[in-house]
């Protein structure tokens, strides 16, 4: 199952029915809800979503909306190491960098956003909702879209071995942190 992180703009399109983007965003939401994909939201985006839901529909609706969101989507952690990684990306839009770093740390295959251009140098591929739907509809090919490229950073965070190239040959190395 593909693991995707939804940018706040896509979630807002679905929940607030923002046209002309609502249909594709709702189809992505449905793909996660029906188990065609595993969906995550960035932790820092949940408070933004609550604020914008409350402004558009009131506090009670925001609590219900975020409550439902959390029954459908997992949350990609944003901790010190994710923030440090986001800083190393050197992007002008730090919020996008945090999304990319959170997606990488969570082992996501894709970031689904309406601002794919803002993620050009992302460690995780970023696509618009229509492209994400096309990829989810594909029946063949690798299970993980980014598996050929992999993520050394994400593997390190999970303590899994990674492969490095040394003189044209691959060597496996453990990435678990040694407390000593």
> What DSSP assignment string belongs to 74-134?
EEE---HHHHHHHHHHT-S-HHHHHHHHHHHHTT-SEEE-S-GGGGTT-SS-EE-HHHHHH
Please report which confidence band the pLDDT of residue 16 belongs to, taking 50, 70 and 90 as the band edges.
Answer: confident
Q: What is the largest CA-CA distance in the chain?
A: 60
Does the structure show a pLDDT above 70 at 5? yes
**What's the average model confidence in pLDDT over 89-115?**
96
Summary mean pLDDT of the chain: 81
CATH number of 2-142: 3.40.50.1010
CA distance 131 to 151: 22
pLDDT at 22: 92
Closest CA to 144 of 6, 4, 2: 2
pLDDT tops 90 at residue 175: no
Pairing of strands 169-173, 162-166: antiparallel
Which pLDDT band holds residue 15 (cuts at 50, 70, 90)? confident
- Convert 15-42 to b/e letters by CB count within 10 Å (16 or more is b): bbeeeebbebbbebbebbeeeebbbbbb
Listed in order, the ranges of the chain carrying CATH 3.40.50.1010 are 2-142
Tell me the pLDDT tens digit for each residue of 111-170. 999 999 999 999 999 999 999 999 998 853 444 444 333 333 334 334 433 333 333 333
Q: Whole-angstrom Cα distance, residue 159 to residue 176?
A: 4
Distance of CA 150 to the CA centre of its chain: 15
Identify the CA nearest to 14 among candidates 4, 33, 27.
27
Pairing, β 74-76 against β 37-42: parallel
pTM of the model: 0.75
For the segment 14-43, the average pLDDT, to the nearest whole number, is: 94
Q: Tokens in use for 136?
A: 């989810």
**If you search the block for the tokens 């601002």, which residue do you land on?**
115
């Amino acid at each position: 199952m593909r693991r995707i992180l939804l940018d706040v703009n896509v979630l807002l399109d679905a929940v607030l029915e923002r046209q002309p983007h609502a249909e594709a965003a709702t189809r992505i939401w449905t793909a996660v809800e029906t188990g065609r994909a595993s969906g995550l939201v960035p932790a820092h985006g949940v408070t933004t979503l609550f604020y914008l839901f409350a402004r558009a529909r009131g506090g009670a609706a925001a609590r219900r909306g975020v409550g439902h969101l959390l029954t459908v989507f997992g949350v990609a952690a944003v901790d010190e190491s994710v923030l440090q990684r986001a800083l190393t990306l050197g992007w002008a839009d730090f919020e996008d960098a945090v999304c990319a770093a959170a997606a990488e740390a969570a082992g996501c295959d894709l970031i689904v956003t309406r601002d794919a251009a803002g993620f050009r140098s992302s460690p995780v591929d970023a696509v618009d909702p229509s492209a994400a739907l096309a990829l989810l509809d594909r029946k063949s090919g690798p299970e993980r879209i980014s598996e050929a490229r992999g993520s050394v950073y994400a593997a390190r965070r999970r303590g899994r071995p990674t492969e490095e190239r040394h003189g044209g040959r691959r060597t496996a190395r453990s990435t678990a942190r040694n407390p000593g």
